[in-house]
Amino acid sequence: MKRYLIISLYICLALSACRPGAGLPAEPDYADTAQWFAVDRGGEADLFYITSTETGDYMIDGRVQHHADVTLDSIRALLLGEMQGVDRLLAGGLNFYSPYYRQCTMESFADDSLVDARMPLALGDVRRAFEHYIEHINCGRPFVLAGFSQGAAAVVDLLKTMDDDARSRMAAAYVIGWKVTDDDIAAAGGRIRAAQDSADLGVTVCFNSVRSPECAIPMLSHGNRLAINPVGWRTDETQDTLAYRGDTLTIHLDTASRLLVVDGYRHDDYMLPLIGREGNYHRLDITLYAGQLRRNMALRTKLMRQKLQ
């Protein structure tokens, strides 16, 4: 009898572990200001930003967790560091709003099937956060939508579901370090339009930086259909120069691969765990172009304010 009870217990535990939602972190309540990093500058436009993958797998009560528990100070600190850094680099005079969300851990990106299984929870949080932002925080102001890496994937998801009222105030969406595929464009039903220059409105800006096309990370950029060079804001192969950390870089868009090719970077770059590749400059995709992005967000939101007057 004891043996059967033990076997039954193991079966129950296994079934519990396989149930959707079993052992998942609690769902954030976006009416709670603690679930936001917000900087209200009294500006006339906003930057809504979604963080990249800042967390790895961790243990809670003997169970491996694959999503960020945003009630834990240790996890919140990781997301907060990125939020503060991006606010400092990109916001300028824009109000800055960034939600804590149950992002997938880095280990989730080791395999496409893991991403497919785990990403919906993270995307659902971001959708709810954005809906709360539009209804209770935005107050009808123009805004730009931006995300990096996993956060950029969430931007693509939001573009597929954003209602017309919100979309009419979106100056641009910045998909930084991720891809926009044919399937994404089809699912968006016309809501995703590629940026063609520095001043078009309601468009999507997308780019991924590499030393050469062979250095691409397929999960981040394979099948991408949208790309623009954020230095000169062109979609052809014109070369631009950029000063960074004492280097003079030349940057052009490879139109065949839709990758930004960066020549002249002499420093060691951080290698992403699990999916990293030498010569892939994924972790530089914000810092390299921070000045260009900050000025461009200011320009597009100014033009959107004028359009809405």
Q: What is the pLDDT of residue 270?
A: 77
Q: What is the pLDDT of residue 278?
A: 92
Q: What is the pLDDT of residue 164?
A: 95
Q: What is the pLDDT of residue 6?
A: 33
pLDDT digits (tens, 9 = 90+) for 221-260: 999 999 999 999 999 999 999 999 999 999 999 999 999 9
Closest CA to 103 of 85, 129, 84: 129
Q: What sign does the dihedral 49-118-283-280 (CA atoms) show?
A: negative
Q: What is the pLDDT of residue 269?
A: 80
Q: What is the pLDDT of residue 276?
A: 86
For the chain, which residues score pLDDT lower than 70?
Answer: 1-22
Q: What is the pLDDT of residue 183?
A: 97
Whole-model pTM: value is 0.92
d(CA 249, CA 82): 25
DSSP string, the chain: -HHHHHHHHHHHHHHHHHSTTTTPPPPP-TTSGGGEEEE----SSEEEEE-------EEETTEEE-B--TTSHHHHHHHHHHHHHHIIIIITTSEEEEE---PBPGGGGGSHHHHHHHHHHHHHHHHHHHHHIIIII-TT--EEEEEETHHHHHHHHHHHH--HHHHTTEEEEEEESS---HHHHHHHTT---B--SSS-SSEEEEE-EESSGGG--HHHHTT-----BTTTTBSS---EEEEETTEEEEEEEETTTTEEEEE---S--PPPTTT--TTB-GGGTTTTTHHHHHHHHHHHHHHHHHHH-
